[in-house]
Amino acid sequence: MIENEFKMMLTSGQYEKLCGEFTWDETVLQTNYYYDTDKLTLSARRITARVREIDGEFFLQVKLPTKTEFSRVELERKLDSLPETISGEVLKQMSGEDMPNVKRLGKLFTKRMVKRFDGGEIDLDLSEYFDKRDFEIEIEFTDEIKAREILDKVKSLLGNNSEQCVCMGKVRRFLQELEARI
């Protein structure tokens, strides 16, 4: 599946403002467990391997880069439990790419509020990892025109005239903090 999304980092005040601006369809509590080698081989290739836990269920997810700035290939399969390591063979079976064996590096918890719209959804995220907390809005879409309208509405509400709609993703922020601690 191709995942298309615009992302913006938020301040805590902007996050609080957006919490009250929409009627949210659901709140999802999820934990992402990130996997890579000690040398961050996957990250260097812009590949993400993670296990996402939601309501006690585990999903192995692999994200691969595309040529488009706002898109990534996202592959997923259900797991019975949370692994400590994942073999490169399992990752290759999912992605078709040669991959190394990887180990669990840590976790990032997210409280996600979801608002669906025709052609996509808004995900308002509060994430915690190590001793950090950050805020982000993601607009996932199949209809880019509608998504840009939503993005413009959000920017207007926040008084943000920036053209930037791509920020460092959760895995990159997590890995940056991990490297700072080593």
**How many Å apart are CA 151 and CA 139, to the nearest integer?**
7
- pLDDT band (50, 70, 90) for residue 162: low
pLDDT score recorded for residue 165? 57
How many structural domains compose the chain? 1
- pLDDT band (50, 70, 90) for residue 114: very high
Torsion sign, CA atoms 119, 136, 95, 44:
positive
Residue 123 phi, psi dihedral angles, 5° rounding: -115, 115
Note down the domain range covering 69. 2-181
Question: Rounded to two decimals, what is the model's pTM?
Answer: 0.93
Angle of CA points 132, 178, 66, to nearest 5°: 100
Residue 164 phi, psi dihedral angles, 5° rounding: -70, 125
> Which CATH number covers residue 44?
2.40.320.10
Spatial CB neighbours of 47, under 8 Å, sequence gap ≥ 6: 62, 63, 64, 65, 95, 97, 99
Name the burial class of residue 15, with classes exposed (0-12), middle (13-18) and buried (19+) by CB atoms within 10 angstroms of its CB.
buried
**167 has pLDDT over 80:** no
Question: In the block, which residue shows the tokens 């659901």?
Answer: 26
